[in-house]
Amino acid sequence: MQLRYTFRIEPGPGQRSALARAFGCARVVYNDGLRARETARSRGLPFLKTGDLSKALITDAKQTPERAWLGEVSAVVLQQSLRDLDAAYRNFFDGLEGKRPRVSAPRFKSKRDNRQAVRFTANARWSLTSGGKLRLPKIGDVKVRWSRPLPSTPSSVTVVKDAAGRYFASFVISTDPSEMLPETTGAVGIDLGLTYFAVLSDGRKISSPKFFRRAEKKLRKAQQNLARKTRGSGNRRKAVVRVARAHARVADARRDFHHKLSTTLIRENQAVYVEDLPVKGLARTRLAKSVHDAGWSAFVSMLEYKAARYGRTFTRVDRFFPSSQLCSACGVKDGPKPLEVREWTCRACGAVHDRDVNAARNVRREGSKVAAGQVETQNACGAQVRPVLVPAQRAIRTRVRKKQEPTRSCQPTGWVQAGIPGL
C-alpha cells in the first residue's frame, strides 16, 4: 500500500513567489481544460482526451503571447493538473454509476482559494539534497523540517499551501512488508461516543479531549474580529489568516490524538472491531458540533489503514447491530434504552452492566463472528448487502407513483420492478 508522509517546509521569499507562480499556472491549465471539455459537451462533441488537452493547452499555448508565461514553471506541474481534472471527472462518473458516493461535477478553481497545491513526479527530476533540503525544479532548494526519516524512496511529492499560510511537502511512499508487527493474542472491541471518546471491551475508557469545545471561545473572538474588517482590505486578509490558524491548531491537535490512540490500539491487539456509525446522519442532529469535534470517521479510517499496513485484523460491525440492547453475559436482548441510562441490570441473568463497556464487549463478540464469516451482513430492510446481488424483498417493494415512474427500493440493488408492464 502507499502512504503519505507530510513535513513542514520553509521556503524563502523568492521561493514563495515561485510557488505562487506554479500554483497559478496549474490552476489556469486546470480551468482551461475544464472549459474546453464543457464547451465540447455543450456542442455535442466527443469527450476530449487528456493527450489532446495537453498538446493544445500546454505545448501549443506556450507559443502564444497570452500563455507564454506557462514556460516559467515545470511542465510536470501542468501535466499533473490535467491528471487531477481527469480524476475529478472519473469520480463524478463513478458516482453516477453507483461505484462510489456521489460527488458534484468538476468546478473551476479560484485564485482566492485559501488552499493551493502542485505535484511533482519523478519526471520533474526533483530530489533530496545531501543537506536534507528539497530541490524542486525552477523553485530551488527548500528547507524541510524533518520529524522522521523516510522509510523508502518517494515516488512523488506534493507541495501544499494551506489556509493558514503554511507550506507542506507530502511524499508518497510505498510500504515495506518488513514493517509487519509481531503477532499477538489481543482483540478489542471499541464503542465510540461523546462523553468518552472510546470505551474498550477490556473496561478502559478514553476521555474525549473536545479540542473544538476548549478552543471555541478563542475561535469566536477571532471570527468576530474578522467580521469587523472591511471587505477587500489588507486587515481583513490578515484576519482571515488568523482565523485559519486558530482552526488549524484545533485540527492538528485532534489529528495527533487520533494517530497516537490508533497506533496504540493496533500495536497492542491482533484484531480490532469497531461499530460502523452513521456519522452523516448524526451530524444533522443537535449533536452535530460534538460529533464533528470527535472526528470518529477520521479515527476509524486510521485504524483501518494501520491494520492493513501492520498485518492486523480490522472489522466493522453493522450499524444496526443492537450492541446496547444485548447482555454481554447471557446474550439476551433486553430492549432499547434511552441515552440517560448509563447502567442497567439484565432481567434474565441479573448481571449489572455499564452501558458503554457492555456495548464494546458485544461489538468485540460480533466482530469476531463477522471476521470469521459466521454473520451475514444485512441492511435495515433485512436484505443481504453487496457483494451478493439479490432481488428486492416482496414485503418492501414500493408503490407506483401517479406518473408511473419506478422508485428506488431501500436496498442498494438498483431499480425495483414495481409491476409496470415493460419494466
Q: What is the set of active-site residues?
A: 191, 275, 356
Cβ-based neighbours of 422, under 8 Å, separated by 6 or more: none
| Cα Rg of the chain (Å, integer) | 26
Which of 374, 368, 360, 350 is CA-nearest to residue 323?
360
Q: Which residue has the cell 503571447?
A: 65
For residues 287 and 176, what is the distance between their CA atoms, to the nearest angstrom? 41
Distance between terminal CA atoms of the chain? 44
Which 3 state secondary structure label does DSSP give 97? coil
Which of 214, 240, 210 is CA-nearest to residue 225?
240
For residues 240 and 223, what is the distance between their CA atoms, to the nearest angstrom? 8
What is the grid cell recorded at 383? 436484505
For residue 305, report the phi and psi dihedrals to the nearest 5 degrees.
Answer: -75, -30
Would strands 140-145 and 134-136 be described as parallel, antiparallel, or unpaired? Answer: antiparallel
